[in-house]
Amino acid sequence: MDNETILQAFEWELKPDHQHWQLLAQKADLFQRLGFTALWLPPASKGAAGAQDVGYGTYDLYDLGEFDQKGSIPTKYGTKDEYLKLIATLQEKGLKVYADIVFNHFLGADETEEVSAVKYSWDNRNQQISGEEQIEAWTKFTFPGRKGQYDDYIWTWRNFSGVDYDARSKDHAIYNLGDRGWVPDVDGEKGNFDYLMGCNLDMEYPETIQNLDNWGRWFLDLTEVDGFRLDAVKHIQFDYFVDWLLHRREEKGDQLFVVGEYWSEDVTKLENYLDSSGNLIYLFDVPLHFNFQQAATSMGAYDMRQIFDHTLLAARPEYAVTFVDNHDTQNGQSLESWVEGWFKAHAYALILLRKLGTPVVFWGDLYGIPTQGIDPVGRELLILLLLRKHLAYGNQVDHFDDPDRIGWVRTGDYEHELSGYAVIMTNASGGELEMTISALHGGKTFVDAFGNNEAKVVLDENGRGVFPVNDGQISVYVNEAIAETIRNVEDLDLY
Protein backbone atom coordinates (compact mmCIF):
# COMPACT_ATOMS: atom_id res chain seq x y z
CA MET A 1 0.00 0.00 0.00
CA ASP A 2 1.31 3.45 -0.90
CA ASN A 3 2.19 5.86 1.87
CA GLU A 4 -0.57 8.43 1.61
CA THR A 5 0.88 11.88 0.94
CA ILE A 6 -1.17 14.99 0.11
CA LEU A 7 -0.03 18.02 -1.85
CA GLN A 8 -1.70 21.30 -0.93
CA ALA A 9 -1.65 22.43 -4.55
CA PHE A 10 -1.74 26.21 -4.06
CA GLU A 11 -0.55 29.12 -1.95
CA TRP A 12 -2.14 32.49 -1.24
CA GLU A 13 0.02 34.58 -3.56
CA LEU A 14 -0.42 32.65 -6.82
CA LYS A 15 -0.78 34.88 -9.88
CA PRO A 16 -4.45 35.49 -10.79
CA ASP A 17 -3.79 34.43 -14.39
CA HIS A 18 -6.43 31.68 -14.67
CA GLN A 19 -3.69 29.17 -15.54
CA HIS A 20 -3.39 27.10 -12.38
CA TRP A 21 -5.80 24.29 -13.28
CA GLN A 22 -3.89 23.80 -16.53
CA LEU A 23 -0.53 23.90 -14.76
CA LEU A 24 -1.54 21.23 -12.27
CA ALA A 25 -2.79 18.98 -15.05
CA GLN A 26 0.55 19.32 -16.84
CA LYS A 27 2.38 18.25 -13.68
CA ALA A 28 0.27 15.20 -12.85
CA ASP A 29 3.03 12.77 -13.85
CA LEU A 30 5.58 14.62 -11.73
CA PHE A 31 3.32 14.58 -8.68
CA GLN A 32 2.88 10.85 -9.04
CA ARG A 33 6.65 10.30 -9.40
CA LEU A 34 7.27 12.30 -6.23
CA GLY A 35 5.00 9.99 -4.30
CA PHE A 36 1.94 12.16 -3.86
CA THR A 37 -1.26 10.16 -3.62
CA ALA A 38 -3.72 13.07 -3.50
CA LEU A 39 -4.02 16.78 -4.28
CA TRP A 40 -5.94 19.25 -2.16
CA LEU A 41 -7.21 21.84 -4.62
CA PRO A 42 -8.20 25.41 -3.66
CA PRO A 43 -11.89 26.40 -3.58
CA ALA A 44 -13.26 26.25 -7.12
CA SER A 45 -16.35 28.44 -6.69
CA LYS A 46 -16.50 32.09 -7.71
CA GLY A 47 -15.50 34.42 -4.89
CA ALA A 48 -16.57 37.98 -4.20
CA ALA A 49 -13.27 39.31 -5.60
CA GLY A 50 -13.74 37.46 -8.87
CA ALA A 51 -10.50 36.49 -10.57
CA GLN A 52 -8.51 37.95 -7.65
CA ASP A 53 -10.22 35.79 -5.04
CA VAL A 54 -8.20 32.95 -3.51
CA GLY A 55 -11.54 31.20 -3.10
CA TYR A 56 -12.43 31.75 0.53
CA GLY A 57 -14.67 34.76 -0.11
CA THR A 58 -17.54 32.55 -1.34
CA TYR A 59 -20.01 34.31 -3.60
CA ASP A 60 -21.68 31.70 -5.83
CA LEU A 61 -21.10 28.03 -5.06
CA TYR A 62 -22.54 26.99 -8.43
CA ASP A 63 -20.18 29.16 -10.49
CA LEU A 64 -17.00 27.13 -10.98
CA GLY A 65 -15.63 29.56 -13.54
CA GLU A 66 -18.49 29.46 -16.02
CA PHE A 67 -20.46 32.69 -15.67
CA ASP A 68 -19.63 36.38 -16.05
CA GLN A 69 -19.88 37.39 -12.41
CA LYS A 70 -17.75 39.63 -10.21
CA GLY A 71 -15.89 40.92 -13.25
CA SER A 72 -14.69 37.60 -14.62
CA ILE A 73 -15.81 34.33 -16.15
CA PRO A 74 -12.86 32.22 -14.91
CA THR A 75 -11.85 32.09 -11.28
CA LYS A 76 -8.31 32.88 -10.20
CA TYR A 77 -7.38 29.35 -11.23
CA GLY A 78 -9.27 28.89 -14.50
CA THR A 79 -12.58 27.78 -15.95
CA LYS A 80 -15.07 25.12 -14.96
CA ASP A 81 -14.08 22.94 -17.94
CA GLU A 82 -10.39 23.18 -16.98
CA TYR A 83 -11.23 22.25 -13.38
CA LEU A 84 -13.15 19.16 -14.47
CA LYS A 85 -10.41 18.18 -16.91
CA LEU A 86 -7.81 18.55 -14.15
CA ILE A 87 -9.74 16.25 -11.84
CA ALA A 88 -10.07 13.62 -14.54
CA THR A 89 -6.36 13.89 -15.43
CA LEU A 90 -5.25 13.48 -11.82
CA GLN A 91 -7.53 10.53 -11.24
CA GLU A 92 -6.28 8.84 -14.43
CA LYS A 93 -2.78 9.03 -12.91
CA GLY A 94 -4.01 7.35 -9.74
CA LEU A 95 -4.10 10.58 -7.74
CA LYS A 96 -7.09 11.38 -5.53
CA VAL A 97 -8.63 14.84 -5.53
CA TYR A 98 -9.84 16.69 -2.44
CA ALA A 99 -12.01 19.77 -2.96
CA ASP A 100 -11.91 22.74 -0.57
CA ILE A 101 -15.40 23.52 0.75
CA VAL A 102 -16.24 26.90 2.33
CA PHE A 103 -19.61 26.85 4.12
CA ASN A 104 -19.05 29.38 6.88
CA HIS A 105 -19.91 32.58 5.03
CA PHE A 106 -20.92 34.31 1.79
CA LEU A 107 -19.49 37.60 0.56
CA GLY A 108 -20.33 40.06 -2.21
CA ALA A 109 -24.14 40.16 -2.01
CA ASP A 110 -26.03 41.62 -4.98
CA GLU A 111 -28.61 43.65 -3.05
CA THR A 112 -29.27 45.05 0.41
CA GLU A 113 -32.22 44.27 2.67
CA GLU A 114 -33.71 46.06 5.64
CA VAL A 115 -33.57 43.76 8.64
CA SER A 116 -33.87 43.91 12.40
CA ALA A 117 -30.57 43.24 14.16
CA VAL A 118 -28.82 43.35 17.53
CA LYS A 119 -25.24 44.59 17.87
CA TYR A 120 -22.69 42.44 19.73
CA SER A 121 -19.22 43.11 21.11
CA TRP A 122 -16.26 42.24 18.87
CA ASP A 123 -14.40 40.73 21.81
CA ASN A 124 -17.27 38.99 23.58
CA ARG A 125 -19.89 37.67 21.19
CA ASN A 126 -22.18 36.86 24.10
CA GLN A 127 -22.38 40.53 25.09
CA GLN A 128 -25.16 42.59 23.48
CA ILE A 129 -24.31 46.24 23.10
CA SER A 130 -27.58 47.44 21.59
CA GLY A 131 -31.24 46.67 21.47
CA GLU A 132 -33.00 45.67 18.28
CA GLU A 133 -32.50 48.18 15.49
CA GLN A 134 -33.15 48.33 11.76
CA ILE A 135 -30.07 48.05 9.56
CA GLU A 136 -29.46 47.86 5.83
CA ALA A 137 -27.52 44.66 5.23
CA TRP A 138 -25.87 43.27 2.08
CA THR A 139 -27.58 39.89 2.38
CA LYS A 140 -29.48 39.24 -0.86
CA PHE A 141 -27.72 36.96 -3.37
CA THR A 142 -29.52 36.75 -6.72
CA PHE A 143 -26.56 35.67 -8.92
CA PRO A 144 -27.70 37.66 -11.96
CA GLY A 145 -24.88 36.35 -14.14
CA ARG A 146 -25.97 32.73 -13.70
CA LYS A 147 -29.66 33.46 -14.31
CA GLY A 148 -30.92 30.48 -12.31
CA GLN A 149 -28.93 27.82 -14.15
CA TYR A 150 -28.39 24.69 -12.01
CA ASP A 151 -30.30 26.26 -9.12
CA ASP A 152 -32.68 29.23 -8.83
CA TYR A 153 -32.66 29.73 -5.07
CA ILE A 154 -32.27 33.34 -3.88
CA TRP A 155 -30.34 33.69 -0.64
CA THR A 156 -31.70 36.35 1.75
CA TRP A 157 -31.09 37.55 5.29
CA ARG A 158 -33.09 34.58 6.59
CA ASN A 159 -30.23 32.28 5.53
CA PHE A 160 -27.73 34.18 7.65
CA SER A 161 -27.31 34.77 11.36
CA GLY A 162 -24.95 37.74 11.22
CA VAL A 163 -23.19 40.45 9.24
CA ASP A 164 -20.50 42.99 10.08
CA TYR A 165 -21.71 46.12 8.28
CA ASP A 166 -24.73 48.41 8.23
CA ALA A 167 -24.87 50.14 4.85
CA ARG A 168 -27.23 52.76 6.25
CA SER A 169 -25.10 54.00 9.14
CA LYS A 170 -21.76 52.88 7.59
CA ASP A 171 -21.09 51.19 10.91
CA HIS A 172 -18.70 48.23 11.04
CA ALA A 173 -20.00 46.09 13.89
CA ILE A 174 -21.17 42.54 14.53
CA TYR A 175 -24.91 42.35 13.98
CA ASN A 176 -27.02 39.33 14.87
CA LEU A 177 -29.93 39.24 12.44
CA GLY A 178 -33.47 38.89 13.71
CA ASP A 179 -32.18 38.62 17.29
CA ARG A 180 -31.74 34.87 16.76
CA GLY A 181 -28.60 34.59 18.83
CA TRP A 182 -25.57 32.50 17.93
CA VAL A 183 -25.27 28.74 17.57
CA PRO A 184 -23.98 27.49 20.96
CA ASP A 185 -21.97 24.47 19.81
CA VAL A 186 -18.97 26.27 18.28
CA ASP A 187 -15.52 27.26 19.52
CA GLY A 188 -15.61 29.32 22.71
CA GLU A 189 -13.02 31.89 21.64
CA LYS A 190 -14.43 35.43 21.98
CA GLY A 191 -17.21 33.92 24.06
CA ASN A 192 -18.79 32.37 20.97
CA PHE A 193 -16.99 32.15 17.62
CA ASP A 194 -20.01 31.41 15.43
CA TYR A 195 -19.49 34.68 13.58
CA LEU A 196 -16.26 35.04 11.62
CA MET A 197 -16.87 37.26 8.59
CA GLY A 198 -19.28 38.32 5.84
CA CYS A 199 -22.77 36.91 5.83
CA ASN A 200 -22.56 34.13 8.40
CA LEU A 201 -24.57 31.08 7.31
CA ASP A 202 -27.30 30.10 9.76
CA MET A 203 -26.98 26.34 10.17
CA GLU A 204 -30.23 26.17 12.13
CA TYR A 205 -32.34 27.56 9.27
CA PRO A 206 -33.86 24.61 7.34
CA GLU A 207 -33.58 26.24 3.91
CA THR A 208 -29.87 26.91 4.44
CA ILE A 209 -29.26 23.27 5.35
CA GLN A 210 -31.32 22.00 2.42
CA ASN A 211 -29.65 24.24 -0.15
CA LEU A 212 -26.13 23.35 0.99
CA ASP A 213 -27.12 19.70 0.73
CA ASN A 214 -28.51 20.26 -2.76
CA TRP A 215 -25.26 21.89 -3.82
CA GLY A 216 -23.20 19.06 -2.32
CA ARG A 217 -25.14 16.50 -4.34
CA TRP A 218 -24.72 18.57 -7.53
CA PHE A 219 -21.01 19.20 -6.95
CA LEU A 220 -20.12 15.59 -6.17
CA ASP A 221 -22.09 14.28 -9.13
CA LEU A 222 -20.40 16.79 -11.45
CA THR A 223 -16.81 16.53 -10.22
CA GLU A 224 -16.56 13.00 -8.76
CA VAL A 225 -13.92 14.21 -6.28
CA ASP A 226 -12.54 11.76 -3.73
CA GLY A 227 -12.90 13.89 -0.62
CA PHE A 228 -13.12 17.32 0.95
CA ARG A 229 -11.16 19.83 2.97
CA LEU A 230 -13.63 21.74 5.16
CA ASP A 231 -12.83 25.36 5.93
CA ALA A 232 -13.26 27.07 9.33
CA VAL A 233 -15.09 24.23 11.09
CA LYS A 234 -14.56 25.80 14.54
CA HIS A 235 -17.05 28.51 13.49
CA ILE A 236 -19.72 26.08 12.24
CA GLN A 237 -22.11 24.10 14.43
CA PHE A 238 -20.01 21.10 15.43
CA ASP A 239 -22.44 18.41 14.30
CA TYR A 240 -23.57 20.18 11.11
CA PHE A 241 -21.39 18.18 8.73
CA VAL A 242 -22.55 14.78 10.01
CA ASP A 243 -25.64 14.58 7.81
CA TRP A 244 -24.03 16.45 4.93
CA LEU A 245 -21.12 13.99 4.79
CA LEU A 246 -23.28 10.91 5.29
CA HIS A 247 -25.31 12.00 2.27
CA ARG A 248 -22.16 12.49 0.18
CA ARG A 249 -20.80 9.08 1.19
CA GLU A 250 -24.07 7.44 0.23
CA GLU A 251 -23.99 9.18 -3.15
CA LYS A 252 -20.34 8.31 -3.74
CA GLY A 253 -20.73 4.76 -2.52
CA ASP A 254 -17.41 5.19 -0.76
CA GLN A 255 -15.93 6.50 2.47
CA LEU A 256 -14.56 9.81 1.15
CA PHE A 257 -11.53 11.38 2.83
CA VAL A 258 -12.54 14.49 4.78
CA VAL A 259 -10.26 16.81 6.73
CA GLY A 260 -11.40 19.85 8.68
CA GLU A 261 -9.55 23.04 9.56
CA TYR A 262 -10.03 23.69 13.28
CA TRP A 263 -7.45 26.36 14.07
CA SER A 264 -6.47 25.88 17.70
CA GLU A 265 -3.29 25.05 19.60
CA ASP A 266 -5.40 23.26 22.23
CA VAL A 267 -5.53 19.57 21.35
CA THR A 268 -8.45 18.99 23.74
CA LYS A 269 -10.58 21.24 21.52
CA LEU A 270 -9.65 19.13 18.51
CA GLU A 271 -10.55 15.95 20.37
CA ASN A 272 -13.88 17.45 21.41
CA TYR A 273 -14.63 18.35 17.81
CA LEU A 274 -13.84 14.84 16.61
CA ASP A 275 -16.28 13.43 19.15
CA SER A 276 -18.95 16.07 18.44
CA SER A 277 -18.76 15.51 14.68
CA GLY A 278 -19.21 11.76 14.93
CA ASN A 279 -15.60 10.85 14.12
CA LEU A 280 -16.27 11.31 10.40
CA ILE A 281 -13.65 14.00 9.91
CA TYR A 282 -9.88 14.06 10.15
CA LEU A 283 -8.35 17.30 11.48
CA PHE A 284 -5.19 19.23 10.70
CA ASP A 285 -2.69 18.91 13.53
CA VAL A 286 -2.42 22.61 14.32
CA PRO A 287 -0.66 22.05 17.67
CA LEU A 288 2.14 20.17 15.88
CA HIS A 289 2.58 23.10 13.48
CA PHE A 290 3.07 25.42 16.46
CA ASN A 291 5.58 23.01 17.99
CA PHE A 292 7.53 23.22 14.74
CA GLN A 293 7.38 27.01 14.78
CA GLN A 294 8.55 27.16 18.39
CA ALA A 295 11.43 24.75 17.71
CA ALA A 296 12.45 26.83 14.69
CA THR A 297 12.60 30.08 16.68
CA SER A 298 14.16 28.89 19.96
CA MET A 299 17.83 29.21 18.93
CA GLY A 300 18.48 25.58 19.81
CA ALA A 301 16.83 25.80 23.24
CA TYR A 302 13.74 23.75 22.31
CA ASP A 303 13.67 20.28 23.84
CA MET A 304 13.27 18.07 20.77
CA ARG A 305 11.98 15.20 22.90
CA GLN A 306 8.78 17.24 23.27
CA ILE A 307 8.15 17.87 19.57
CA PHE A 308 5.04 15.63 19.57
CA ASP A 309 3.76 16.63 23.01
CA HIS A 310 0.15 17.90 23.20
CA THR A 311 -0.48 17.20 19.50
CA LEU A 312 -3.27 15.41 17.70
CA LEU A 313 -0.65 12.99 16.40
CA ALA A 314 -0.04 11.94 20.00
CA ALA A 315 -3.68 12.01 21.14
CA ARG A 316 -5.60 10.71 18.10
CA PRO A 317 -3.01 9.67 15.49
CA GLU A 318 -5.56 7.94 13.26
CA TYR A 319 -7.30 11.33 12.75
CA ALA A 320 -4.22 13.54 12.44
CA VAL A 321 -3.42 15.29 9.16
CA THR A 322 0.03 16.76 9.65
CA PHE A 323 1.55 19.80 7.96
CA VAL A 324 4.43 22.24 8.34
CA ASP A 325 2.94 25.41 6.82
CA ASN A 326 -0.06 26.33 4.69
CA HIS A 327 -1.71 29.26 2.91
CA ASP A 328 -2.97 30.74 6.19
CA THR A 329 0.38 30.60 7.99
CA GLN A 330 2.38 32.32 5.27
CA ASN A 331 3.59 35.85 5.90
CA GLY A 332 0.93 38.55 5.86
CA GLN A 333 -2.03 36.27 6.55
CA SER A 334 -4.29 36.43 9.59
CA LEU A 335 -2.87 33.20 11.02
CA GLU A 336 0.74 34.02 10.12
CA SER A 337 3.07 31.61 11.93
CA TRP A 338 5.72 30.70 9.38
CA VAL A 339 8.23 27.96 10.21
CA GLU A 340 11.72 29.29 9.54
CA GLY A 341 13.55 27.84 6.57
CA TRP A 342 16.47 26.23 8.41
CA PHE A 343 14.03 23.92 10.24
CA LYS A 344 11.86 22.98 7.26
CA ALA A 345 13.73 19.75 6.45
CA HIS A 346 13.58 18.75 10.13
CA ALA A 347 9.82 19.39 10.23
CA TYR A 348 9.09 17.61 6.96
CA ALA A 349 11.12 14.60 8.07
CA LEU A 350 8.99 14.52 11.23
CA ILE A 351 5.81 14.16 9.18
CA LEU A 352 7.00 12.34 6.04
CA LEU A 353 9.33 9.72 7.47
CA ARG A 354 7.20 8.49 10.37
CA LYS A 355 4.52 5.85 10.52
CA LEU A 356 1.56 7.77 11.91
CA GLY A 357 -0.41 10.69 10.53
CA THR A 358 -1.37 11.73 7.02
CA PRO A 359 1.15 14.37 5.86
CA VAL A 360 0.49 17.40 3.66
CA VAL A 361 3.21 19.18 1.70
CA PHE A 362 2.59 22.89 1.06
CA TRP A 363 2.91 24.31 -2.46
CA GLY A 364 4.83 27.26 -1.07
CA ASP A 365 7.45 24.88 0.32
CA LEU A 366 7.66 22.83 -2.86
CA TYR A 367 7.74 25.77 -5.29
CA GLY A 368 8.52 28.76 -3.10
CA ILE A 369 6.55 32.00 -2.76
CA PRO A 370 8.14 34.37 -5.30
CA THR A 371 6.05 37.40 -4.32
CA GLN A 372 7.47 37.18 -0.79
CA GLY A 373 11.01 36.28 -1.77
CA ILE A 374 10.67 32.83 -0.20
CA ASP A 375 12.62 30.07 -1.92
CA PRO A 376 11.49 26.45 -2.13
CA VAL A 377 12.73 24.10 0.57
CA GLY A 378 14.49 22.50 -2.36
CA ARG A 379 16.50 19.32 -2.74
CA GLU A 380 15.97 18.04 0.81
CA LEU A 381 12.18 18.11 0.46
CA LEU A 382 12.33 16.21 -2.83
CA ILE A 383 14.58 13.60 -1.24
CA LEU A 384 12.22 13.26 1.72
CA LEU A 385 9.30 12.67 -0.64
CA LEU A 386 11.19 9.94 -2.50
CA LEU A 387 12.26 8.38 0.79
CA ARG A 388 8.64 8.24 1.90
CA LYS A 389 7.52 6.74 -1.39
CA HIS A 390 10.18 4.05 -1.68
CA LEU A 391 11.65 3.33 1.76
CA ALA A 392 9.25 4.38 4.58
CA TYR A 393 8.03 0.91 5.51
CA GLY A 394 8.25 -1.52 8.40
CA ASN A 395 8.11 -0.91 12.13
CA GLN A 396 9.27 2.30 13.80
CA VAL A 397 11.59 2.58 16.80
CA ASP A 398 12.16 5.97 18.43
CA HIS A 399 15.29 7.28 20.13
CA PHE A 400 14.07 10.45 21.82
CA ASP A 401 16.53 10.47 24.72
CA ASP A 402 18.42 13.74 24.29
CA PRO A 403 16.99 17.30 24.33
CA ASP A 404 18.95 18.27 21.20
CA ARG A 405 19.47 15.09 19.19
CA ILE A 406 16.59 12.75 18.41
CA GLY A 407 16.28 9.89 15.98
CA TRP A 408 14.23 6.95 14.85
CA VAL A 409 14.40 4.02 12.48
CA ARG A 410 12.02 2.34 10.09
CA THR A 411 12.94 -1.32 9.84
CA GLY A 412 11.92 -1.82 6.23
CA ASP A 413 10.02 -4.86 4.93
CA TYR A 414 10.33 -7.62 2.34
CA GLU A 415 7.82 -6.07 -0.05
CA HIS A 416 9.83 -2.88 -0.72
CA GLU A 417 13.37 -3.53 -1.85
CA LEU A 418 16.07 -1.84 0.26
CA SER A 419 13.41 -0.14 2.41
CA GLY A 420 14.22 1.07 5.91
CA TYR A 421 16.43 3.87 7.22
CA ALA A 422 17.76 5.68 10.27
CA VAL A 423 16.97 9.35 10.91
CA ILE A 424 18.96 11.61 13.22
CA MET A 425 18.44 15.35 13.67
CA THR A 426 19.52 18.14 15.98
CA ASN A 427 18.41 21.71 16.54
CA ALA A 428 21.72 22.51 18.26
CA SER A 429 25.09 20.81 18.38
CA GLY A 430 25.94 17.72 16.36
CA GLY A 431 26.62 14.26 17.75
CA GLU A 432 25.64 10.68 17.16
CA LEU A 433 23.08 8.04 18.10
CA GLU A 434 23.43 4.28 18.26
CA MET A 435 20.37 2.74 16.65
CA THR A 436 19.35 -0.66 15.31
CA ILE A 437 17.51 -0.62 12.00
CA SER A 438 16.91 -4.35 11.52
CA ALA A 439 18.83 -7.60 11.17
CA LEU A 440 17.47 -7.58 7.60
CA HIS A 441 20.23 -5.03 6.94
CA GLY A 442 23.00 -6.74 8.88
CA GLY A 443 26.45 -6.06 7.41
CA LYS A 444 25.17 -3.45 4.94
CA THR A 445 26.65 0.02 4.52
CA PHE A 446 24.35 2.99 5.12
CA VAL A 447 25.02 6.58 4.01
CA ASP A 448 23.27 9.93 4.44
CA ALA A 449 20.75 10.39 1.61
CA PHE A 450 21.13 14.17 1.93
CA GLY A 451 24.91 14.05 1.82
CA ASN A 452 25.03 16.35 4.84
CA ASN A 453 27.35 13.91 6.61
CA GLU A 454 29.98 11.88 4.75
CA ALA A 455 30.08 8.94 7.19
CA LYS A 456 29.69 5.40 5.92
CA VAL A 457 28.02 3.36 8.65
CA VAL A 458 28.52 -0.40 8.40
CA LEU A 459 25.82 -2.17 10.40
CA ASP A 460 26.67 -5.17 12.56
CA GLU A 461 24.94 -8.53 12.13
CA ASN A 462 21.93 -7.26 14.10
CA GLY A 463 21.57 -4.14 11.98
CA ARG A 464 23.02 -1.85 14.62
CA GLY A 465 25.15 1.19 13.85
CA VAL A 466 26.31 4.55 15.18
CA PHE A 467 24.87 7.41 13.11
CA PRO A 468 26.35 10.94 13.22
CA VAL A 469 24.77 14.32 12.50
CA ASN A 470 26.29 17.77 12.03
CA ASP A 471 25.37 20.92 13.99
CA GLY A 472 21.78 22.05 13.34
CA GLN A 473 21.24 19.48 10.60
CA ILE A 474 19.38 16.30 9.75
CA SER A 475 20.76 13.11 8.21
CA VAL A 476 18.81 10.14 6.88
CA TYR A 477 20.91 7.00 6.49
CA VAL A 478 19.84 4.61 3.74
CA ASN A 479 21.33 1.53 2.11
CA GLU A 480 24.28 2.64 -0.01
CA ALA A 481 22.86 0.64 -2.92
CA ILE A 482 19.91 3.01 -3.28
CA ALA A 483 21.43 6.28 -2.08
CA GLU A 484 22.40 7.62 -5.50
CA THR A 485 18.95 6.86 -6.91
CA ILE A 486 17.30 8.79 -4.08
CA ARG A 487 19.76 11.67 -4.31
CA ASN A 488 19.38 12.11 -8.05
CA VAL A 489 16.47 14.54 -7.81
CA GLU A 490 17.91 16.85 -10.44
CA ASP A 491 16.32 14.58 -13.06
CA LEU A 492 12.89 15.60 -11.81
CA ASP A 493 11.51 18.41 -13.96
CA LEU A 494 9.96 20.29 -11.05
CA TYR A 495 9.29 23.45 -13.03
Mean pLDDT of the region 435-442: 97
- The 10s digit of each residue's pLDDT in 92-132 is 999 999 999 999 999 999 999 999 999 999 999 999 999 99
In this prediction, residues 219-240 reach a mean pLDDT of 97
Which range, of 374-383, 404-413, 483-492, averages the lowest pLDDT? Answer: 483-492
pLDDT at 495: 76
Tell me the average pLDDT across 47-53: 97
Which are the contacts of 389, defined by CB distance < 8 A and separation ≥ 6?
2, 3, 5, 34, 35
Residues 6+ apart with CB under 8 A from 404: 300, 304, 426, 427, 428, 429, 431
- Residue 486 is predicted with a pLDDT of 94
pLDDT band at 493 (very low <50, low <70, confident <90, very high): confident
- In this prediction, residue 490 carries a pLDDT of 79
231 catalytic? Reply is yes
CB-side exposure of 54: number of CA atoms within 13 Å?
12
Kindly report each contact of residues 144-149 with a partner whose C-beta sits within 8 Å and lies 24 or more positions away, as own/partner: 144/69, 144/110, 145/60, 145/63, 145/67, 145/68, 145/69, 146/60, 146/62, 146/63, 146/67, 146/69, 149/62, 149/67
What is the arithmetic mean of pLDDT over 281-300? 97
Tell me what the mean pLDDT of segment 372-392 comes to: 96
284, 231 in Cβ contact below 8 A? no
How far apart (Å, rounded) are the C-alpha atoms in residues 155 and 307? 46
Distance from first CA to last CA of the chain, Å, rounded? 28
What's the rounded mean pLDDT across residues 280-308? 97
The residue annotated as part of the active site, out of 100, 261, 380, 404, is 261
- Which of 11, 13, 187, 231 is catalytic? The answer is 231
**pLDDT at residue 1 tops 70:** no
Q: Taking residues 462-480, what's their average pLDDT?
A: 98
In the three-class reduction of DSSP (H, G, I as helix; E, B as strand; rest coil), residue 214 is classed as helix
Rounded alpha-carbon distances, angstroms, from residue 46 to 22, 65, 416 = 17, 6, 44
User: Is the model's pLDDT at 12 over the cut of 80?
Assistant: yes
What percentage of the chain carries pLDDT values higher than 90?
A: 97
* Pairing of β 6-8 and β 38-41: parallel
Annotated active-site residue 110? The verdict is: no
Q: What is the average per-residue pLDDT within 276-283?
A: 93
Cβ atoms 268, 260 nearer than 8 A: no
* pLDDT of amino acid 459: 98
The tens digit of pLDDT for each residue in 146-198 reads 999 999 999 999 999 999 999 999 999 999 999 899 999 999 999 999 999 99
